[in-house]
Amino acid sequence: MIPSAYPAQDEIARLTARMLLEIGAVHFNADKPFILASGLPSPTYIDCRKLISYPRIRSTLMDFLTITVMRNAGLEAFDNIAGGETAGIPFSALVAERMALPMTYVRKKPKGYGRGARIEGEMSEGQRVLLVEDLTTDGGSKISFVDAIRETGATCDHTAVIFYYGIFPDTLKTLGDHGVTLHHLCTWWDVLAEARRQDAFTSETLTEVEAFLKAPRAWQETRAEH
């Protein structure tokens, strides 16, 4: 069912951050930084996959994501909802259900047998596709999914995520240069503000996290030297 309530975007951001903290999806550790897929250290880590195990929060956030996309892009802007392998698949299915649209998913790489397909499900030329993922950091992984969708003859001008890092200045330009608009629910700045309201971490940890968010590359370079 398409949600009919439209909270203000700043309230959506605050509530999303609160829910991510509530289920323990937010991890801050400045003393022993996490190592990201890039190999660089970070005092922050977000695990949006945990959301699928919390039905009340999962349902609320999928309502938020659906209304955010409809508010920003239009109620009749899409014909197909595609999820990126693997984290985007459950969320794309839930958004597709709310919008009463077909759901597909995009593989990271072609399947190594059979048709060698990257698109699973029915996607046809001319369809307007919304790419749904759990999060984005610098937007790079979204480009590959978008290109695979466009190779079918469909269009993909929008991607929607629950969490957007919001700390790398080139992200929106990277996507924009590829003709893609990003829709999201909250960023690290929203999570940091809510964590401070809740006293969810020590003040020292939150101070170090803020230092990272203000200058992530500089913070990473300093830590990588040790």
Domains of the chain: 9-224 (3.40.50.2020)
- Count Cβ atoms below 10 Å from residue 223 Cβ, excluding itself: 15
**19-23, 36-40, 147-151, range with the lowest pLDDT:** 36-40
Q: pLDDT tier at 225 (50, 70, 90 boundaries)?
A: low
Q: pLDDT tier at 117 (50, 70, 90 boundaries)?
A: confident
Q: Is the peptide bond before 86 cis (omega within 30 degrees of 0)?
A: yes
By percentage, how much of the chain surpasses pLDDT 90? 82
Nearest partner of 109 among 156, 141, 136, judged by Cα: 141
Alpha carbon distance, N-terminus to C-terminus of the chain: 52
Q: pLDDT tier at 139 (50, 70, 90 boundaries)?
A: confident
Distance between CA 124 and CA 198 in Å, rounded? 47
Distance between CA 1 and CA 201 in Å, rounded? 37
CA 51 vs CA 1, 116, 176: distances in Å: 20, 31, 28
Distance between CA 164 and CA 69 in Å, rounded? 14
Q: Does pTM top 0.85 for this prediction?
A: yes
CA 64 vs CA 41, 100, 143, 198, 225: distances in Å: 31, 16, 24, 22, 41
Task: Give yes or no for residue 63 having a pLDDT over 80.
Answer: yes
DSSP state of 53: G
